[in-house]
Amino acid sequence: MVRVTRNYQFSASHRLYLAHLSEEENQKLFGKCANPHGHGHNYTLAVTVEGPIDPRTGLAVNPFALDKLVHGHVLGRIDHSYLNEDVEELRGVPATTENLASFARQALAAAWPADFPALAHIGVRETKRNVIELPVIPQKV
């Protein structure tokens, strides 16, 4: 069994705030990330799969097939978007990197082909200082 990670760059903007809190309370909770007009990041999404090496190809996953899946179900929906509004799953919840990683995990798990190696881990790097790691618990069928 091997683990293979592919990294994907995307850019998006967001604003961290809770609608029921005052400006002051939001600043206290989220700092400058609560600034009213939002701000952007150059994120990295890391998708890790785990499976056996195919003896014919020497690969554990077809990277192009994985790229197509990630682009189709995650990157195409978040790249150059305003996460708070443009991503349906993030409306009404804080557009944190934690919630963004959860969205990516959910979207990939729902579309995951049966003949792919297991989806093992999702990572989202927002800044050098802020990296969210999300293991994927195997789903019981």
Instruction: Using CB under 5 A, list all residues that contact Ni ion.
Output: 33
Q: Which is nearer to Ni ion, 33 or 66 (CB)?
A: 33
Q: Which among 123, 6, 11 has a CA at the least distance from the CA of 65? A: 6
Minimum CB–partner distance for residue 128 and Ni ion (Å) = 13
As measured in angstroms, the least distance from the Cβ of 95 to Ni ion is 8
Give the number of other Cβ atoms within 10 Å of residue 39's Cβ: 11
80 labelled catalytic:
yes
Spot the catalytic one: 33, 39, 41, 133: 33
DSSP-derived 3-state class of residue 136: coil
**Residue 52's closest CA among 3, 121, 114?**
3
Q: How far is the CB of 31 from Ni ion (least distance, A)?
A: 10
How many residues are present in the chain? 141
Q: Say which of 71, 80, 88, 98 is annotated catalytic.
A: 80
Q: Which residue number has the CB closest to Ni ion? A: 33
- Told to judge if 126 belongs to the known catalytic residues of this protein, a careful annotator would answer yes
39 is catalytic: no
Q: How far apart are CA 67 and CA 49, in angstroms?
A: 12
Q: Which residues are catalytic?
A: 33, 80, 126
